[in-house]
Amino acid sequence: MRSYLRELLTGAIEKTAKGGELNSSELPPLLLEPPKQREFGDLATNVAMLWAKSAKKQPRAIAETILKNIEDPDGILARKEIAGPGFLNFTFAPKFYYARLRELAAGNHARLDLGQGERVQVEFASVNPTGPLHVGHGRVAVIGDVLARLHEATGFNVEREYYVNDAGNQMDNLGLSIMARYRESFGEKVEFPEGGYPGDYVTEIAAEIKQKHGDKFLHDPVETAVRFFREYGGDSLLNTIRSQLKNFGIEFDSFFSEKVMRERNEVDRAMDELRSRGLLYSQDGAEWYRSSQFGDDKDRAVIKSDGELTYFAADIAYHRNKFERHFQKLINVWGADHHGYVPRLKAAMQGLGYDPNVLQIVLVQMVQLTRGGEPVRMGKRTGEFVALEEVLEEVGGDAARFFFLMRKSDSHLDFDLDLAKKQSSENPVFYVQYAHARVASIFEQAVKAGMDLGDRGTVPVERLGLAEELELVRKMSQFNDVLEESVRELEPHRMVFYLLDLAGEFHRYYNRIRVISEDLELSRARLLLIENVQKTVRRGLEILGVNAPLKMAARAEAEC
């Protein structure tokens, strides 16, 4: 919807600048937002206020000049006015909405091409292969997947990547944990390793090894056994993670192994490059990166005094590899506990000569599960956390995806398991899906009544004169605006909010207005209207990775 007004205003602003009516040819940014109060119109801009300083004129005077220079030959604006200190408010005419509905019906709605084929990598859900996914991982995974889907829907060439943290102490601890359970299965009393993984899944992996190899590893040297358990356990758990994500509708284009990267000496080469740039120095036997030189609050160790690499060194090498693959945008989706890591990683990329703004990091806050109003704190299989698999078994993939997206990523999320299972309008995902199913039901009634939409191009959309009907078209016309905002701000929750608003408008309309009546032409117009509501809901749900069912529980009819 913004694009139509932006075109009119851009022309008016350029005409104002070229006409010499102002003392400035420096054009201000044109920002268009819905007014906070609906009565002030459909869209508003503060462009006159932004221009006032350089033009050395009062904002209202500039606003008057802009309005005078608006050329609207198609009459898409019903009202344009100046408000307050110089805001410009605009209201679209009904004919504008009729034209948008015809475009939607013909499948000619403008496709956003923000990316124009630019290559984007989204790296997300990169969980250490030391255990199954928990609900927090699930939220990170869904946000990453939907960010990828949003970029694909707006003309970007997207690659999804999973960074496999398969090197380092955590993998050694996994190997020691499996070895302890393996030895216990033969009746030995074993002290469980400090920092080990106590979940039942470790016992299950040990049992698999025992079944395949018997007591072989009771006789092998400890180092040999631990190395095997580490490799076997890591591979097994990575396969489990891949399977769980696939069942959740999430697949990756590439899995990037930290271990393989180290074997290729990429970390050493990255450190050599930083040394050659004079950005590493020695202190207390360790090597440090001059991170503070690039905006970080202090310098960071990359090589410990015992010669071991820090995690930061490996992350520098990994992101150097990413930049060398020439993506135009790199998006990392991380847990919020990594917030302090952002400035140091950007500083490292800047030190290597890359544009740190190419790297954009989305932080995701924790999830609190509740049941019966009480927090759910422990899972059945892990012994520590609630596994994602348990939640999916209980509420299903659609509800889980939708609920994970119902808050801004950097806000804590309360996930009500009871609510997610309800087959009623109280359940947000049910509420949106039922809008789609309800339209299908209405069309079934139309068929039974012998009513056919026929040629969509001949439907008299001008018969849609009710405010509720124009509001539905207005909501549908905002789809691309929401899509653009979601991509630019990296905020997939905006699409969820939008779908809830659209579904709400539709359910209220349905409860007040008879879609099918004795008036054939009005019925055709209303059927065309709701058919496009259904198409718009489906487009949004597809981006979220949520199903758009044609039938749902009958008792919902009285509740929505």
Q: Over 80: is that where the pLDDT of 64 sits? A: yes
Mean pLDDT of the residues in the chain? 93
Number of domains the chain is built from: 4
Dihedral class, residue 72 (left if φ above 0, else alpha if ψ from -120 to 50, else beta)? beta
Which residue pairs from 269-275 have beta carbons closer than 8 angstroms and sit at least 24 positions apart in sequence? 269/317, 270/313, 270/316, 270/317, 270/320, 270/352, 271/302, 271/303, 271/313, 271/316, 271/317, 273/320, 273/352, 274/302, 274/316, 274/348, 274/351, 274/352
Separation CA 445–CA 482 (nearest Å): 32
Residue 207, domain member (yes or no): yes
Over residues 446-490, the pLDDT tens digits come to: 999 999 888 999 999 999 999 999 999 999 999 999 999 999 999
Nearest to 136 by CA among 149, 124, 146: 124
Domain presence at residue 420:
no
Range of the domain at 179: 169-248
| 225 lies in the same domain as 284 | no
Residues 330 and 317 in one domain: yes
In a domain, 197, yes or no: yes
Count other Cβ atoms within 10 Å, centred on residue 215: 12
pLDDT at 557 over 60: no
**210 shares a domain with 155:** no
Same domain for 79 and 138, yes or no, is no
> 72: domain CATH number?
3.30.1360.70
Tell me if 112 is assigned to some domain.
no
Q: What percentage of residues in the chain have a pLDDT greater than 70?
A: 96
Judge if 158 and 175 occupy the same domain. Answer: no
Nearest-CA neighbor of 68 among 5, 6, 9, 23?
9
> What contacts 482, CB < 8 A, 6 or more positions away?
494, 495, 498
**Chain centre to alpha carbon of residue 520:** 43
CATH of the domain at 530: 1.10.730.10
- Residue 433 and residue 463 share a domain: yes
Tens digit of each residue's pLDDT (9 = 90 or more) over 80-116 = 999 999 999 999 999 999 999 999 999 877 688 999 9
* pLDDT tens sequence across 315-333: 999 999 999 999 999 999 9
| Contact predicate 331/490, CB 8 Å | yes
pLDDT band at 384 (very low <50, low <70, confident <90, very high): low
Residue finishing a domain among 310, 330, 364: 364
- Res 28: pLDDT: 79
Do 491 and 517 touch, CB atoms closer than 8 A? no
Is 473 found in the same domain as 353? no
- Burial class from Cβ neighbours inside 10 Å (0-12, 13-18, 19+) for residue 396 reads middle
Helical H segments across 397-546, by residue range: 397-404, 417-421, 428-448, 467-477, 479-489, 493-512, 520-544
Residue 385: pLDDT band with limits 50, 70, 90 = confident
CA separation for the pair 487, 493 (Å, rounded): 11
Q: Does 393 have pLDDT greater than 60? A: yes
The larger pLDDT score, comparing residue 271 to residue 30, is at: 271
Sign of the CA dihedral 513, 519, 522, 524?
positive
188, 319: one domain: no
- Structural domain includes residue 259: yes
pLDDT of residue 227: 95
